[in-house]
């Protein structure tokens, strides 16, 4: 499904113009497990399989086995996804996020190794060039101006680029793509367009992603979480400048 449409608008600059302006499409996504609807959220109508896979795996929604290949997706006024699964649906601790209409995150105990031991390093200039490539590749944002982007990189290339009206959705799409393609994330860099809230950092902690970079700011809680779990957190990546908030040892100046 095409992620944007156009609307007739009046544009005011030095003069009045009537034009067709590209605008992003927003759809309601209804997620069901074994035919029973369990979750609704709003999203851009692209990479739906990746979005659902990333959300399920990042948030532990299904306690049991499920098969992404058997996921049924239908498009109408809403997007409907039904997931065949064994085990119970775990929606305890569901919390509405601060990032998008209908967005949810789940309070789960963060377990696993400290990420600070990961050997990944990258030169500052290389990181700046990588983020510029990420911004140029964000075509839907550049077209409509109202989309968030997320990308997973190995430091040389963008492995996947995901765009969505919700910043959490964009991250879940990128993570879901890597999960479905069996791409490990514990030696990768996450590039995002939106602010670095605690929910965003939590997703990266769960997948042991050692470096997270944004063009905007982190919150105090996300900085504390990144510091304690060993993540290099970078914000305000703009032009030649950026701020390193935690674990600067991975960035070679």
DSSP summary character for residue 167: H
Structural domain 115-252, CATH architecture:
3-Layer(aba) Sandwich (3.40)
CB of 82 closer than 8 Å to CB of 72: yes
Cα atoms found within 13 Å of the Cα of residue 83, Cβ hemisphere only: 29
Average pLDDT over residues 27-54: 94
> Which ranges in the chain belong to alpha helices (H)?
48-59, 124-137, 139-144, 167-180, 198-206, 220-229
* Positions of CATH 3.10.20 in the chain: 27-106
Average pLDDT over residues 67-91: 87
* Positions of CATH 3.40.140.10 in the chain: 115-252
Chain-wide mean pLDDT for the chain? 89
Which residues does 145 contact at the CB level (< 8 Å), separation at least 6?
A: none
| Residue 74 bridge partners (DSSP) | 80
Cα atoms found within 13 Å of the Cα of residue 40, Cβ hemisphere only: 6
Average pLDDT over residues 12-35: 94
pTM: 0.89
For the domain bounded by 27-106, which CATH number is listed?
A: 3.10.20
């Amino acid at each position: 499904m095409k992620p944007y449409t156009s609307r007739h608008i009046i544009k005011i600059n030095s003069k009045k113009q009537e034009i067709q302006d590209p605008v992003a499409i927003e759809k309601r996504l209804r997620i069901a497990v074994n035919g029973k609807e369990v979750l609704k959220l709003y999203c851009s109508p692209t990479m739906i399989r990746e979005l659902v896979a990333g959300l399920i795996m990042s948030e532990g929604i299904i306690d049991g086995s499920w098969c992404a290949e058997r996921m049924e997706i239908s498009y109408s006024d809403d997007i409907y996804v039904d997931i065949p699964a064994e085990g119970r649906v775990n929606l305890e601790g569901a919390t509405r996020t601060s990032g998008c209409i209908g967005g949810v995150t789940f309070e789960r105990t963060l377990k696993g190794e400290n990420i600070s031991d990961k050997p990944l390093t990258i030169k500052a200039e290389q990181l700046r060039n990588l983020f510029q490539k990420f911004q140029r590749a964000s075509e839907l944002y550049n077209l409509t101006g109202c989309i968030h982007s997320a990308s997973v990189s190995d430091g040389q290339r963008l492995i996947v680029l995901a765009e969505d009206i919700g910043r959490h959705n964009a991250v879940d799409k990128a993570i879901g793509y890597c999960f479905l393609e069996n791409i490990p994330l514990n030696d990768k860099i996450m590039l995002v367009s939106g602010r670095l809230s605690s929910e965003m950092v939590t997703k990266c902690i769960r997948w042991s992603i050692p470096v997270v970079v944004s063009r905007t700011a982190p919150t105090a809680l996300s900085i504390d979480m990144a510091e304690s779990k060993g993540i290099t957190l970078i914000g305000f990546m703009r032009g030649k400048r950026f701020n390193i908030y935690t674990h600067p040892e991975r960035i070679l100046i």
